[in-house]
Amino acid sequence: TVDVTTPQGCLKTRIVDVTSSEIAQIQEIKISDLAESNTVEISATGNGDLVYSIDNLTDFQYSNIFYDVPYGIHQVYVKDINGCGLVGPIEIYVLGIPKFFTPDGDGVNDTWNLAGSSSKFNKNAEILIFDRHGKFIHQQFGDGAGWDGTYNGRQLPSDDYWYVITLEDQRVFRGHFSM
């Protein structure tokens, strides 16, 4: 409560709500990727009402879990709704393996690579590509430009191709994609 007294001695008491708030501290970001539905969970602490966002500063949510996050590189933000600061952007990497690519020169899906890797994250992930008969076709790394569908300078036919990806943390993924 606040008591206010005028010079004439009149007393007025007001009740004021005080909301405690402080800038958030991000403790951990858990990423479940390389799945049909990728999730990101942001663990943050702070004395206040925290909201969370991925990739924009206008669409915040109260839940700290994001579902169906597309693979790629994203920016994470956390703020207190009472205006006590913004944390971010914090760059995160959600890995994904494209199911197809179309090297037709139109600028869309022209190369195939491990999505969400960069020179900062899984740049040394090894990617081996084979044809459907097991013949080795191409080797690349996570920060490379990607495979353009050629072998010895010649365009390969549309078909299924197989991969073995070894991430920097030594997890191995095997599967196939279409060209």
- CA-CA distance, 94 to 71, in Å (whole number)? 5
Q: Could you report the per-residue pLDDT of 60-101, keeping only the tens digit for each?
A: 999 999 999 999 999 999 998 887 789 999 999 999 999 999
Look at residue 146 and tell me whether its pLDDT is greater than 80. yes
- CA-CA distance, 32 to 30, in Å (whole number)? 7
Per-residue pLDDT at 124: 94
Task: Give percent above pLDDT 90 in the chain.
Answer: 69
Per-residue pLDDT at 155: 94
- CA-CA distance, 64 to 51, in Å (whole number)? 7
Question: Per the structure block, which two tokens stand in for 129?
Answer: 């590509």
Residue found under tokens 């913004």? 86
Strand partners, 127: 140, 165
Name the strand (E) or helix (H) holding 176.
strand 172-178
Question: Per the structure block, which two tokens stand in for 33?
Answer: 């990727």
CB 166 within 8 Å of CB 126 = yes
Close Cβ partners of 152 (under 8 Å, ≥ 6 residues apart): none
Does the pTM of the predicted model rise above 0.85?
no
Integer CA distances (angstroms), 149 to 58, 76, 98, 129, 145, in order = 40, 34, 14, 10, 12
Residue found under tokens 């008969």? 133
Per-residue pLDDT at 7: 87
- CA-CA distance, 1 to 142, in Å (whole number)? 61
Band the pLDDT of 6: cuts 50, 70, 90.
confident
Average pLDDT over residues 142-158: 93
> C-alpha angle 78/64/74, rounded to 5°?
60
Q: Could you report the per-residue pLDDT of 10-43, keeping only the tens digit for each?
A: 888 888 877 667 788 999 999 999 988 999 999 9
Per-residue pLDDT at 11: 87
Per-residue pLDDT at 2: 85
The DSSP secondary structure of 1-32, one letter per residue, reads -EEEE-TT--EEEE----------EEEEEEEE
Per-residue pLDDT at 16: 83
- CA-CA distance, 125 to 113, in Å (whole number)? 11
Look at residue 105 and tell me whether its pLDDT is greater than 80. yes
